[in-house]
Amino acid sequence: MSRKGVGIGAFDRSRLTSRQFASHGSSLRASNTEALTTQLTVFRSLLQQFAQTHAKDIRSDPAFRAQFARMCTAIGVDPLASSSSSSSGAGGGLWAQLLGGSVNDFYFELAVRVVEVCSRTRGENGGLIGLKELTERVSQGRMEGSTEISADDVKRAVETLKPLGGSYAIISVGHKEYVRSVPRELSNDQASVVEAAQVLGYVSVSMLRDNLGWEKARCQTVIDDLMSEGMLWVDKQTRGEWEYWSPTSMMDTEGVMEPAIEGG
Amino acid sequence: MSTAIQTEAGDTFPFPKDYSFPAFFTRQPNLQTHHAQLEKWSALVLAYARHHRLFRLSPTHPVFHNKKLDRRFAEPDARELLEHMRKDGRVEWVGNEVFVYWRKPEDWARKLEKWVEDTAQKGHVLTLYEITEGEATLGTEFHGMDGEVLLKALNHLVKRGRAQIFGQDDSLGVKFF
């Protein structure tokens, strides 16, 4: 009776098969999801475990910390950004929970110190401080001998300050990186002068004129601009042309000059 | 003016990096920069005076002259600095120079009081000379102290009823309670 398979019963059968397919498909999907969920859970717990067992290393070893942060970036996890969104609800706190107490706090504490140093030195450098010098200053502040801090850490810490507004940023001028703590962009001319000052620690009008091919007035204008923003210090005791010094070289440890006075 | 800059001991004062920064010696025209400059100089002068146990300083003191760099913090600028420090209570003018208070008179007073207590000299009479030059204070911080600064410190104690000063100009004595 069912040999032909073309009777009314065929409809039933095909309906049955398609239902079976559908249920099989959904069960497949379900198991897929389950597998993924398990994987995610495993991954989560592994990462958590990793962060916990290596919390000390993450806190104390700047190279390890940088590697860890890089790994997180590679797998699409931003250990810092996640916590800043913790205010936006449960999902945001995930990584903060996983890594919190070790990584997050580390960068936030560091960020606080970065802000301290930047605002303390703003008078002398106009809010532009070399990343290297800033790192040294920040490290000096924490003499307890605990954690070493790398420039990489400071950069990440500065990035955590982004939500506070546009004033904190990392900028590159020439071959040097700076942290800017004032909401002010350097013009191209200003950046050129800051870059030129990296070479000897200072610039002068004729030096700029000869090296950049600018007119005298343009050199003086840019210098005056930077002076008025506190980013250059003038030295009038040169017996010749005035020299304008970058305050960065004042803080540079491997600076151009050795200690000035020998004792008697 | 060539006050003893390197008489005390042989050890060198570790000058901060700012001191080898040529522009540090030119008065900065930018107001904010100038303020930072004064703060740095102020810290430097205090640390320097503390290191050398310097009680008096003039605006032409050798510390304002970096021979190696051939840079000088000119007298008017140094004067302005000292005036800035006076407002912070860190120096006090005496004629053409200042007392440098790397330790303020009231802090000296506290130290003296403790010393008197520790050495059981309450009720005793000491001359000021004994305190600054006597054997009793050898090895203490009071030895070699500027007489006038000492007197200022003692006056703090007098005000608080912890000491009494008597005697003539150059043979002053003090009794502690």
**Domain positions in chain B:** 17-100, 105-176
Cα separation, B89 vs A82, in Å, equals 49
Inter-chain touch B22–A228, beta carbons under 8 Å: no
Inter-chain touch A260–B70, beta carbons under 8 Å: no
Kindly report, residue by residue over B15-57, the tens digit of the pLDDT: 988 899 999 999 999 999 999 999 999 999 999 999 999 999 9
In CATH, what number does B105-176 get? 1.10.10.10
Does B130 touch chain A if contact means CB atoms closer than 8 Å?
A: no
The pLDDT of residue A94 is 47
B134 DSSP assignment: S
The pLDDT of residue B35 is 96
In A, which residues are within 8 Å of B64 by CB distance?
A: none
Does A164 touch chain B if contact means CB atoms closer than 8 Å?
A: no
Cα separation, B174 vs B114, in Å, equals 15
Cα separation, A107 vs A149, in Å, equals 10
Inter-chain touch B21–A234, beta carbons under 8 Å: no
The pLDDT of residue A100 is 54
In B, which residues are within 8 Å of A228 by CB distance?
A: 30
Cα separation, A191 vs A197, in Å, equals 10
Inter-chain touch B15–A260, beta carbons under 8 Å: yes
**Strand pairing partners for B93?**
B98
CA distance B75 to chain A (A): 14
Decide if B17-100 and B105-176 have a common fold: yes
Interface size A-B, in CB pairs within 8 Å, comes to 96
* CA-wise closest residue to A226 among B28, B37, B21: B28
* CA-wise closest residue to B19 among B62, B80, B76, B82: B62
Is the distance from CB of A205 to CB of A216 less than 8 angstroms? yes
What sign does the CA torsion over B34, B39, B42, B47 have? negative
Domain A186-255, what architecture?
Answer: Orthogonal Bundle (1.10)
CATH assignment of B17-100, given 3.40.47.10, 1.10.10.10, 3.40.50.720, 1.10.10.570?
A: 1.10.10.570
Cα separation, A89 vs A123, in Å, equals 40
CA atoms within 13 A on the CB side of A167: 12
Could you list the pLDDT tens digit for every one of the 264 residues in chain A? 555 556 777 778 888 888 888 888 888 888 888 888 888 788 777 777 777 777 777 767 778 877 877 777 777 666 555 444 434 333 444 455 555 556 677 788 889 889 999 999 999 999 999 999 999 888 876 655 556 788 988 998 998 888 877 689 999 998 899 999 988 889 999 999 999 998 889 999 999 999 999 999 999 999 999 999 999 999 999 999 999 999 987 765 433 333 333 333
